Amino acid sequence: MSPADSVFEYLDQSGLERAPRVEQLHKLGFTWADLEDEEYWLDAVAVMRGETYKELEDASVKLWGILDKAVRYLHRRHDLYDLLGIPPVLWQMLDDTPLPEPGLISRYARFDFAVAGDGTIKLLELNADTPTGYVEASIATPWICGQAGIPSRNNGMKERLAAAWSIERPDTAACVAYGTHQEDSGTIEALVAHSGLDIRCVDCLDLWIDEGTVRDAEDRIIKRMFALYPKEWMAVDDGGEALAYAIESGQLQLFNGPHSILLQSKGLIAAVWGMYELGLLFSEEERLAIASYILPTYNKPVFSGSFVSKSVFGREGGSVRIFDDSGSLELADEDGFDSSVLFPTVYQKRAELARIQTPEGELHLLTGMFVINGVPCGLLGRAGGPITGNASHFIALGVRELEDEQG
- The pLDDT > 90 percentage for the chain reads 87
pLDDT in tens, 156-212: 999 999 999 999 999 999 999 999 999 999 999 999 999 999 999 999 999 999 999
pTM (2 decimals)?
0.95
Which of 268, 132, 121, 242 has its CA nearest to residue 187? 132
Cα separation of 71 and 73, whole Å? Answer: 5
pLDDT in tens, 98-157: 999 999 999 999 999 999 999 999 999 999 999 999 999 999 999 999 999 999 999 999
pLDDT in tens, 320-365: 999 999 889 899 877 767 777 889 999 999 999 999 999 889 999 9
- Map the chain to HEC letters: CCHHHCCEEEEECCCCCHHHHHHHHHHHCCCCCEECCEECEEEEEEEECHHHHHHHHHHHHHHHHHHHHHHHHHCCCHHHHHHHCCCHHHHHHHHHCCCCCCCCCCCEEEEEEEECCCCCEEEEEEECCCCCCHHHHHHHHHHHHHHHCCCCCCCCHHHHHHHHHHHHCCCEEEECCCCCCHHHHHHHHHHHHHHCCCCEEEEHHHCEEECCEEECCCCCEECEEEEECCHHHHHCCCCHHHHHHHHHCCCCEEECCCCHHHHHCCHHHHHHHHHHHHCCCCCHHHHHHHHHHECCEECCCCCCCCEEEEECCCCCCCCCEEECCCCCEEEECCCCCCHHHCCCEEEEECCCCEEEEECCEEEEEEEEEEEECCEEEEEEEEEECCCCCCCCEEEEEEECCHHHHHC
Quote the pLDDT of residue 314: 79
**Model confidence band, residue 406 (pLDDT cutoffs 50, 70, 90):** very low
pLDDT in tens, 73-95: 999 999 999 999 999 999 999 99
Domain assignments of the chain as residue spans, ordered by start:
3-108+127-295+351-383+393-406, 297-350
Quote the pLDDT of residue 340: 75
pLDDT in tens, 301-321: 999 889 999 999 977 656 899
